[in-house]
Amino acid sequence: MAPLLAAAMNHAAHPVLRSHLGPNNESFSRHHLSSSPQSKRIMDGSNADIGANSYHMYKTDVRLLKEMGMDAYRFSISWPRILPKGTVEGGINQDGIDYYKRLINLLLENGKTPFFLASLFMESHNLVFKGIEPYVTIFHWDVPQALEEKYGGFLDKTHKRIVNDYKNFAKVCFDNFGDKVKNWLTFNEPQTFTSFSYGTGVFAPGRCSPGLDCAIPTGNSLVEPYIAGHNILLAHAEAVDLYNKYYKGENGRIGLAFDVMGRVPYGTSFLDEQAKERSMDINLGWFLEPVVRGDYPFSMRSLARERLPFFSDKQQEKLVGSYNMLGINYYTSIFSKHIDISPKYSPVLNTDDAYASQETYGPDGKPIGPPMGNPWIYLYPEGLKDILMIMKNKYGNPPIYITENGIGDVDTKEKPLPMEAALNDYKRLDYIQRHISTLKESIDLGANVHGYFAWSLLDNFEWYAGYTERYGIVYVDRKNNYTRYMKESAKWLKEFNTAKKPSKKIITPA
């Protein structure tokens, strides 16, 4: 196993103005509707029209990957770049197909140097060098705007139209890229997408219940996230079923990637321990248990009740086992504190169905770990080990990739980050080292981990944060032709991947 890199194409590439790309819900809300409330919710008033300009600079980015000794690169395919109107009937954009083919071919043509980190995780290993392996995410939150307008996108209450259109999009991807791509993720972070798009309304289309602060306060924050989530699971199952029926001969792997914020009981009481479990059911089990067992967690069924849709027997049959690898995106952990389950408490958001408050500070008034730059990430690699042990002991220990892990450095008008400070990202380096070391511990305990992707290769557009948070191990100078500069974390990874004895050893957790 070795450290790898990830990016989302609607963060890093050129998502509009080129190649007949159709608008997606994000670009439409934040660019085309420049006068809408949603467009004004980006912290710096920016948009993702250019991102990190990877659309034009992908050759430079692949050279960087090769120079750093990376043997895999995770990226997403933009649905409206391939199907501008969201459907196959609306036409396939050959320019979009050709762009991804160029990227995939270039990755595979660039052989890598040996990853000596593999020996850290395995007593014996056989390394076969076949270039930089593409790990492709089919959907990373960019719903074609045409489908939003046609039937509400993932809020399709028939549970058929969005599922069928997504399946057809996946088929186009398999048909055009399946001969080269052997690792597929159907969805990235469905819990965050559904809760933030239809619960809090932070992400496009920006829906929430009346009285809450969002762009479209005419939704239902207790119902719509579950409708969207149900459609995502059905779409995932159909795509995997399609792949297994018609593309199995390509010897690929397919699954989906979960965003998991670790949970720690606020106190030592049994009630707080139960609060932690309920929180994990929504945070992880919501999308994991249906593909493992065929239904939502018992606590969600008990507390959300009729607001949570049901699966038919046929749907359950397709869901169970619809993966042969899974992704875990991990950044930090938080405390969970019990809330009494009683008529006196009325949930406002779907995540309130955990009946647990999520606390940044523990009973001693201290956060779970040192702050890491952007306001919500605290250093707590132990949380990653806890999650991997849950996967091992509760969910059958499936093959796992850490598909995102990293921190963002704040860079705002009020608090500008000088380039020199950004390049000397020793806090990120420490964060990455500690999490890799914790992965070693987890593997020693039996966790079935196969790879680790840092988030991300480049400083890019970060949703509502715009360009105010720099997550990349490579600095992007947006004011000077998007020139790339390796940060200290990138230099360390390069040395670690290409030298038998890197000068800076991995930190052993205290």
Q: Is residue 480 part of a domain?
A: yes
Give the model's pLDDT for residue 42.
78
Give the model's pLDDT for residue 374.
87
CATH classification of the domain holding 23:
3.20.20.80
Q: Strand pairing of 474-477 and 356-359?
A: unpaired
Inform me whether the pLDDT recorded for 362 exceeds 80. yes
CA-only gyration radius of the chain, Å: 22
Q: Is residue 509 part of a domain?
A: no
Q: Minimal CA–CA distance to 263: which of 145, 358, 395?
A: 358
Q: Is the dihedral of CA 440, 442, 447, 452 positive or negative?
A: negative
The 10 Å Cβ neighbour count of residue 421 is: 11
Confidence grade of residue 114 (pLDDT, cut at 50, 70, 90): very low
Query: Is 468 or 15 the better-scoring residue by pLDDT?
Result: 468
Q: What is the mean pLDDT of residues 121-137?
A: 65
Pair 388, 395: CB distance under 8 Å:
no
The phi and psi torsions of 153 (rounded to 5 degrees) equal 60, -125
Name 304's Cβ contacts closer than 8 Å, sequence gap at least 6.
Answer: 222, 226, 350, 353
Q: Which of 26-30, 120-124, 174-178 has the highest mean pLDDT?
A: 174-178
| Cα distance between residue 478 and residue 496, in whole Å | 28
| Cα distance between residue 472 and residue 494, in whole Å | 14
Q: In which domain, by residue range, is 269 found?
A: 3-498
Give the model's pLDDT for residue 36.
47
CB neighbour class for 67 (10 Å; exposed up to 12, middle 13-18, buried from 19): middle
Q: What is the pLDDT of residues 446-458, one digit of tens each?
A: 999 999 999 999 9
Q: Is the dihedral of CA 178, 181, 182, 185 positive or negative?
A: negative
Pair 239, 77: CB distance under 8 Å:
no
Pair 14, 460: CB distance under 8 Å:
no
The 10 Å Cβ neighbour count of residue 479 is: 8
DSSP state of 486: E
Q: Is residue 358 part of a domain?
A: yes
Query: Mean pLDDT for the chain?
Result: 89
Query: Is 32 or 64 the better-scoring residue by pLDDT?
Result: 64
Q: What is the pLDDT of residues 319-345, one digit of tens each?
A: 999 999 999 999 999 999 999 999 889
Q: Is residue 167 part of a domain?
A: yes
| Cα distance between residue 141 and residue 203, in whole Å | 9
Q: Is residue 506 part of a domain?
A: no
C-alpha of 227 from chain center? 20
C-alpha of 166 from chain center? 18
Q: Is residue 268 part of a domain?
A: yes
Number of separate domains in the chain: 1
Q: What is the pLDDT of residues 375-421, one digit of tens each?
A: 899 999 999 999 999 999 999 999 999 999 999 999 898 999 999 99
Beta bridge partners of 453: 4
Name 334's Cβ contacts closer than 8 Å, sequence gap at least 6.
Answer: 261, 262, 263, 264, 358, 359, 360, 368
Q: Is residue 62 part of a domain?
A: yes
Q: Minimal CA–CA distance to 224: which of 203, 246, 245, 239?
A: 203
| Cα distance between residue 490 and residue 67, in whole Å | 10
Give the model's pLDDT for residue 22.
59
SS3 350: helix
Beta bridge partners of 327: 257, 401
C-alpha of 501 from chain center? 32
Beta bridge partners of 410: 469
Which parts of 250-298 are beta strand (E)?
Answer: 253-259, 262-265
Whether the full predicted model's pTM is greater than 0.75, yes or no, is yes
Q: Is residue 281 part of a domain?
A: yes
Confidence grade of residue 468 (pLDDT, cut at 50, 70, 90): confident
| Cα distance between residue 453 and residue 475, in whole Å | 18
Inform me whether the pLDDT recorded for 179 exceeds 90. yes
Task: List, by residue number, the catalytic residues.
Answer: 189, 404
